[in-house]
Structure 1
C-alpha cells in the first residue's frame, strides 16, 4: 500500500494534504480515512477529507457522527430502522440515523442499508449527499443490481439524467427495472425520444417497459410514434393485455397520436374494462374535438369516478350548448360529496358552467366552496374574461394572496381587453411584483406583451421583448399583432424577417401588415412569401383570408381571383375579403361572379 507523505512547502505554507491530515487528527476522523485508504488508495485521501467536510456541514453533531461509536447499531437493524422511517415518509429521520450510526462504517454496511439511505436521499432530493455515498461505495457495488438500480433512481429523482445515464452505461448487468427508471425519467423531463431509444436496447422488455414506451409515444404525438405503438402492440405477449394499466396507456397513446378508430376498436373488444380505460378514451375524444362521443361513453359507465366526471365537464365545456349546460347541472347534483375534495373536479365544473354561460351558478358554487385552490380562481377569472366581465376578473385576482403564473396570465388578458390607462397601470405594477421565475413561462410573457401593446405602450413591450433571452413564436406574434393594431406595419415586416421558422399566425400578421401598406414592395413581399408557405398552412382559413385581403388591397386582383377560385376550402371570411376588395376598387362586375360562388358553396 502506498504511504502518504506530506511535506512543508519551501515558504513554510502548509500543503493542501497537510492541512487536511492535521484537521483529520484534530477531529478524530482518521479511522474513516484509514478505511478509505485501504480500500481506494492513498491518492484519494484528500477527496475523502473534502467529502467528510461536506458531510459534517449537514450533521447536527459532527464529532459524534464521524467517530466510531461504542454503541454502533448492527447493520441489519440500521437498514430496518431506515426502511421503517422511509415507509412513513420520514426521510430526514432516516438520514439522521445514517449520519449517526452509518457514515463512519459505510464501507461495511449491508447493501440493504445502502439502498435505504439512497432512497431517503432521492426523496429529499439531496443529490450532493447521494453522490458522496456513491463515490465511497462505487467499487463494491458496481456489480450489485439492487444498489445500482437505487443509485440510478436517486439520480433520476434529483433530475441528474446525465449521471444516471452514465451509471447505466457502466453497469454490466442491466435489468428491465433499470431501463424503466431511466425511461420514466426521460419522459418526466420531456425527452420522450431518449426513452424510446432506451426501450430498443432492452432484450426482453416487461409490461412496465411497454407502458413507459406507450407513455413516451403519447408525449411525442407524431406519425412515427404512432407507427411504433402499433408495431409494438402487435409484438407483445397476449398475457400482457391482462394488465389494465398497459391497455390504458396503449389507448392513451393511440388517441394522442390521432388514431381514434384503432383505439375504439381495441377498447370495445376488451372484455374487462376498468375506469382508467374509460378515462383514456374520454380524454382522447376531448383532445380530438369529439365531445359528443365523450358524453356517450360517460353514459355507459355504471359508477364513474371523479376523473370520469372531470372529463365529462371538459367535454361539456367544449360544446358550450344549453344541452351541455343542463347535463353539467344534472351531473353536479348527483356526484358524491366526497368528489368535491378533488380540486380538479371543482375547477372543471366551474370552467364548464362558465363556458356554457351560467356565470351566476359558477359564482354561487365558487363562493360556497370552503377549499378554494388557485386553479379554481383561474377558472373563474378565465370565465369572466370569456364572458366579457373584465372588471370582475381583476377584482377576483385582487382576492388571491399568492397568485400563480396562470392567474397572472389571465389578469394580463383581462387588461388587454380593457385597453385603458388604468389597465396599463395595473399591468406595469403587476409585472414588477411577480417573481422572476414567472418570466420563464412563455405564455405569461406573451400575454404581458399583448397587454402592453393593446394598452398602447409599444416602447415598454419592445424593451421587454428584446431583453428576453428565450423568444417563442407566440411572443413574436404578440409583438407583430401589436404593431398592426398600432399602425406600425414596417415594424411588423422587420420583426417577421427575424423569425427563422414562422408559423401560420406569423404569416397572417405579415399579410395584414402588407395590406395596411398597400405598396408595390408590400405586394412583392406577399407574393414571395405566399410561394414559400407550407401547403399545410392553407388548412387555416384565416391565412387564406388574410392573403386574399393583402393581394386585393395591394392591387393584384387577378392573382387574388386565381387563388380564390382554385381554393377548395372556402369560408365566409374568404368571400368577405374578395367582396371587400371588389368594393374598394369599384369593380362591381366581379360581384356577381363571387356572389354566385357564395350561393353555390352555401
Structure 2
C-alpha cells in the first residue's frame, strides 16, 4: 500500500513538473505588474501557487519589476522557503533601496535557516555599505569567515566595496592583499577606494602596479585614474593617461569615461582641451554636458557655463540634478537671482528631487549669495532630513550678512537636532561669536572642538580671529604659539588680531618676523601692517612696507591702495596720498571717502570739496562717512553756508537720513560760528534724542565764544543728559571751572564719580630711529 502511494505521489509530482514547464515561457514574457499579477491569479486557480518552482518564479518576477509588497506576500505564505527564496527577497529589497529592511530580512533568515550560502552575502554587504553601517558590515564579514566563504571571488569583491565605501582603507587593503586571485574588477575597486577617500596618490601607485603586472585595464579603471589626476592637478600624468586610453582604444564609447576626462581637463584649467574632447565625443550625453558646465564653473567662467546649459536645452538633452546643481552654482556666483529663481521653478515644475546630489544645498547657497536669506531659509525648512552641508551653507550665509544672532541660533538648533558639527560649521559659529563679541559661547565652542578632537589649522585660525575680535588677545597669542604656524592665514590672523586691538607695534613686530623667516605674505598681510603704520604714524616704516609690497610682486587691489593713501595722509604726506589715489585703477566709495577725509583732516577744505564734487560727477553716490567727512571739513574751516548746503543735499539729493554724527557735525559747525541758538534749534528738531557728541559740540561752542549765559539757559538739558562718555563730562566740568561756576563743576564731577568715569589721558607719539 505504501509502495503504491509512493508511486502515485511520484506520478503526481511528474505531472506537476510537466505543467510548470508549460508556464516557464509565460514567466519570461511577464514584464509588468499587471501581467505578473494575472499569471499569479491563474496559478492560484490551478492550485499551483504553493509549488516551490512556481513560488520561486513568482518571487523572481515580482523582484524584477520591483513589487516588494507582492513578493513579501508570496514569501510569507510559503511554508518552508529555501535559501534561494530568502536570497531573492533580500536582493529585491536592495534593488528598491530598502537597505535597512534587507538587513532585517538577513537576520530573519539567520534565525530560520541557520546556515547560509555564498550568494546571500553580496546583497547584504551592499545594503550595509549603502547606509554606511560599518559595524553591521563587520558582523557580516565575521559570518562569512565562520561559513568559510571568504575565498569566494564575488564575496571578496563585495567586502572590498563595503570597506571602500565606508572609508575603512585599512580593512579594504587587508581584504585585497588576502585575495588569492585578483581580476580587473578587484584592482579597479581598490583603486577607486583610495581615490574616493582622498588618497589619490596611492591610487595612482596602484594603477602603475596594475600596468607592471600586466592586468588588462578597462574603462572603469581609467575613470578612477582620470579622477585622481584631476584631484592632484597632475596635468602631465593626466594627458599621458588620456593617451593610454586612445592607444589601447579603452572605452571609446564609454559615456562615464569621456565625461571624467572632460572633468579632468577642467580641473587642470585646460578648458581648450576639455572643449575639444567634448566636441569630438562619440555622443554627447547628459554627463558630458554636465562635466563641461562644471569645468567652466571651476575656472570662473560662469557665463560660459550658462551658455552651455542653454545650448544643452536647445539640443533637447535630458537634464539631471547634477546639471541643475551646477547651473544654480553659476547663477549664485554671478549674483543672478532672477535666473536662479527660474531654475528653481524648473525644478519644482518637473518634480526634480531637491535632496539628490545636493541640489537643495545649491539653492540655499544661491539665495544666501544674492542676499535673500529668507528664501534660503524657506528652502532649508522645506525638508525633514537636512544634510549637514545645508546647515553649513545657511549658517555661513548668515555670518556673511553679519546676522550673527541668526547664525548662532541655527548652529545651536543643529546641535539640538543631534547633527555633529564639522570644522566648517564650527568655524562659522566662531566667526559669528567674533562679530557680536560673544566670548562666552566662543569659549564653549572651543571646548567642543577640544572634546571632539576636531582641532586643525582651519579651526585654530578661526579661534585666533574670534578671541581677537572679542578683545582676548592673550588667548589668541596662546593659540598662535601652540599652532604649527604653517600657512600665511595663521600669521595673518594674528597680525590682524594685534592691529584690531590696538597692538600696532606688536603687529609690525610679527610682520618683521615673517619677513626675517622668508615666509609667504599676501594682500591681507600687507593690508594689516599698512593699517598698523597708519595707527602709529610710522611713515618711514610705511614707505618701507610699500617698497616691499612692490618688490614681492603682491597683487595690489583697491583695498591695499586705499589703505596706502590713508596711511600717507594720516602720517602727513598728502602729496603721496594723492599720488596713490590718482594711480588707482578702481576706486570704491571707501576710497573716495578716505581721500575726502584726508583733506578734511589737514584743513584743505577746497581740495576736499573738489574731490567730493568729482566723485558726484562720476555718478558715485556718497555714503554716511563721505558726508560726515565733508561736514567736518566745513565745520573746521568755518564754511557755514556750504556745511548747511551739504547737510540739506544729503536728504534732498541723495535721500539719506542723517544720523547722530551728522547732526553733531552740523551743531559743531553752527556753534563754532557763534550761532548757538541755531545749533540749539537743530538739536530740538532731531528725530531722536541727542547724545553726548551733539551736546558736547554745543558746549564747546559756548566755551569758544564765552557764552556762560547760554550755557545757563540750557543747564537743565545738560544735567539731565544720560551718557557714559567721560569726554563730555570732562568738557562740561572744564567750562564750568573756567567760568567760576564751582557748584556746577562739583555736580558734574560727582556725576562722573557715581558713574565710575575717568578722564582719558592724552598722549603724543613720535617715531625714533625707524626700522629700515
Same fold (TM over 0.5): yes
Q: Partner residue of 1:550?
A: 466
Match of 1:456, SS state, is: coil
Q: Tell me the secondary structure at the aligned position of residue 333 of structure 2.
A: helix
Q: Secondary structure at the match of 2:130?
A: helix
Q: Distance in 2 between matches of 1:467 and 1:509?
A: 23
List aligned pairs for 1:438-587, cutoff 5 A: 438-442=352-356, 443-468=358-383, 471-499=386-414, 500-502=417-419, 503-504=421-422, 505-518=424-437, 522-532=438-448, 535-536=451-452, 538-539=454-455, 541-562=457-478, 573-587=489-503
Q: Distance in 1 between matches of 2:73 and 2:61?
A: 13
Q: Aligned to 2:105, which of 198, 210, 219?
A: 198
In the TM superposition, what are the counterparts of 1:15-54 in structure 2 within 5 Å? none
User: Quick one: structure 1 residues 111 and 247, their matched pair in 2 at CA, closer, same or farther if it must change by over 3 Å?
Assistant: same
Aligned partner of residue 538 in structure 1, secondary structure: coil
**d(CA) in 1 for partners of 2:63 and 2:249?**
38
Matched-pair contact (CA < 8 Å) for 1:217–1:225: yes
> 1:145·1:173 contact (CA, 8 Å) conserved in 2?
no
TM-score by length of 2: 0.56
Q: Which of these residues, 148, 170, 193, is aligned with residue 55 of structure 2?
A: 148
Residues 470/387 of structure 1: CA separation in 2 closer, same or farther (3 Å cut):
same
8 Å Cα contact 1:325-1:356 kept in structure 2 = no
Q: Which of 285, 300, 305 does residue 388 from structure 1 map onto?
A: 300
Q: Does 1:399 align with 2:314?
A: no
Residue 218 of structure 1: which of 119, 123, 129 is its match?
Answer: 129
Q: Contact 1:244–1:274 (CA<8 Å) still a contact in 2?
A: no
Name the CA distance, whole Å, in 1 between partners of 2:517 and 2:104: 54
Of the structure 1 ranges 480-489 and 455-464, higher mean CA displacement relative to structure 2 is found in 455-464
- Contact 1:384/1:393 (CA < 8 Å) preserved in 2? yes
Query: In 2, Cα distance between the equivalents of 1:244 and 1:490?
Result: 56
Relative distance call for 1:178 and 1:549 in structure 2 (3 A) is farther
- Counterpart CA distance in 2 for 1:373 and 1:457 is 34
Supply the distance in 1 between the matched residues of 2:182 and 2:176 (Cα, whole angstroms).
8
Matched residue of 2:311: which SS? coil
The structural deviation recorded for 1:457 is 3.0
1:221 to partner: Cα distance: 3.8
**Residue 324 (structure 1) aligned with residue 241 (structure 2):** no
Task: Report whether the alignment pairs 1:237 with 2:148.
Answer: yes
Residue 259 and residue 408 in structure 1: after superposition, are their counterparts in 2 closer, same or farther (change >3 A)? Answer: closer
Structure 1: how far apart are the matches of 2:402 and 2:354?
30
1:127-142 aligned within 5 A: 130-131=36-37, 134=40, 137=43, 140=47
The 1:262/1:409 distance shift into structure 2, 3 A limit, reads closer
Q: Which moved more, 1:399-408 or 1:194-203?
A: 194-203
| Contact kept in structure 1, 2:473 and 2:501, CA below 8 Å | no
Determine the C-alpha separation between the residues in 2 that align with 1:169 and 1:574: 64
Give the Cα separation in 1 of the matches to 2:125 and 2:237: 32
Q: Displacement of 1:391 after TM fit?
A: 1.3
Question: CA shift at 1:298, angstroms?
Answer: 2.3
Task: Determine if contact 1:578/1:594 at 8 Å carries over to the other structure.
Answer: no
Deviation, 1:262, is 4.1
**Rg comparison, structure with higher value:** 2
Give the CA deviation at 1:116: 5.5
Within 5 A, what are the aligned runs for 1:326-365?
Answer: 326-336=239-249, 339-365=251-277
Higher alpha-carbon deviation: 368-377 or 298-307: 298-307
Change (3 A) 1:585 1:211: same
* Matched residue, 1:87: none
Q: Does 1:437 align with 2:351?
A: yes
Match of 2:120 in 1: 209
Task: Kindly state the Cα deviation for residue 383 of structure 1 after the two structures are TM-superposed.
Answer: 0.8
Name the residue aligned to 1:12: none
Specify whether residues 389 and 191 from structure 1 end up closer, same or farther in structure 2 by C-alpha distance, changes over 3 A only: same
| 1:307 lines up with 2:220 in the alignment | yes
Equivalent position SS for 2:120: helix
Note closer, same or farther for the CA distance 1:578–1:143 as it changes in structure 2 (3 Å cut).
Answer: farther
Q: Structure 2: any 5+ residue segments left out of the alignment? A: 1-15, 521-772
* Structure 1: gaps spanning 5 or more residues: 1-106
- Are residues 1:288 and 2:203 paired? no
1:267: which partner in 2? Answer: 176
| Secondary structure class of the residue paired with 1:398 | helix
Change (3 A) 1:561 1:271: same
How many Å apart are 1:385 and its aligned residue? 0.7
Deviating more after overlay: 130-139 vs 326-335: 130-139
Q: Distance in 1 between matches of 2:461 and 2:41?
A: 64
* CA displacement at 1:158 relative to structure 2: 4.2
TM-superposed CA distance for 1:487, in Å, is: 2.5
> What's the TM-score, normalizing by structure 1?
0.71
| d(CA) in 1 for partners of 2:384, 2:100 | 26
The alignment yields a C-alpha RMSD, in angstroms, of 3.6
Correspondence for 2:287: 375
* Aligned 8 A contact 1:438 1:444 in 2: no
Say whether residues 1:415 and 2:331 are aligned partners. yes
| 1:160 Cα deviation after fit | 4.3
